[in-house]
Amino acid sequence: MTIKVGDRVPEVTLKRIRQGVETVDTRTLFEDKTVVVFAVPGAFTPTCSERHLPSYIQHFHEFRERGIEVACLAVNDPFVMQAWARSQNVPEGLQMLADGNADFTRALGLEMDASAYGMGIRSRRFAMVVQDGVVRQLFVEAPGEYRVSSAEHVLEALG
Active site (catalytic) residues: 48
Distance CA 49, CA 41 (A): 11
Q: Which stretches does DSSP call E strand in 10-106?
A: 13-17, 21-25, 34-40, 68-74, 95-98
Helix, strand and coil in the chain, % to nearest 5: 35, 30, 35
**Of the candidates 9, 10, 120, 33, the residue with the CA atom closest to the CA atom of residue 74:** 120
What own/partner pairs with CB < 8 Å and gap ≥ 24 does 111-119 have?
A: 111/75, 112/41, 112/143, 114/41, 114/42, 119/41, 119/42
